[in-house]
Amino acid sequence: MESNLYELTTKKDEKAIEKVINLFAPKIKKTLLQTDTQIREDLEQELHLKLIHIVKRYDPEDIVGFWEFYEMFRQKIS
């Protein structure tokens, strides 16, 4: 059964992280076409490492809701 991105990022196991990387791989490869060919492979590896780091740190409980964000923004500009 195919999992959605939310389910994969909350599992945090190796197979789930691999699936997340595979989901982002086409976008990463397409974006890397804009870079120098000599550093493309290194950048791809760095992006994969960054993606792994982000997935491992992701905690949906830490995300603020819209109204909480609105209040924080309002207080900041006041």
Cα–Cα distances in angstroms (integers) from residue 68 to residues 39, 49, 73, 77, in the given order = 41, 31, 9, 15
How does residue 78 score in pLDDT terms, banded at 50, 70 and 90?
confident
Would you say the pTM of this structure is higher than 0.75? no
Q: Residue type for 10, please? A: T
CB 6 within 8 A of CB 50: no
Q: What is the pLDDT of residue 2?
A: 57
Q: What is the pLDDT of residue 1?
A: 40
CB 47 within 8 A of CB 28: yes
- Note down the domain range covering 19: 5-77
pLDDT digits (tens, 9 = 90+) for 13-61: 899 999 999 999 999 999 999 999 999 999 999 999 999 999 999 888 8
Q: How many domains does the chain have?
A: 1
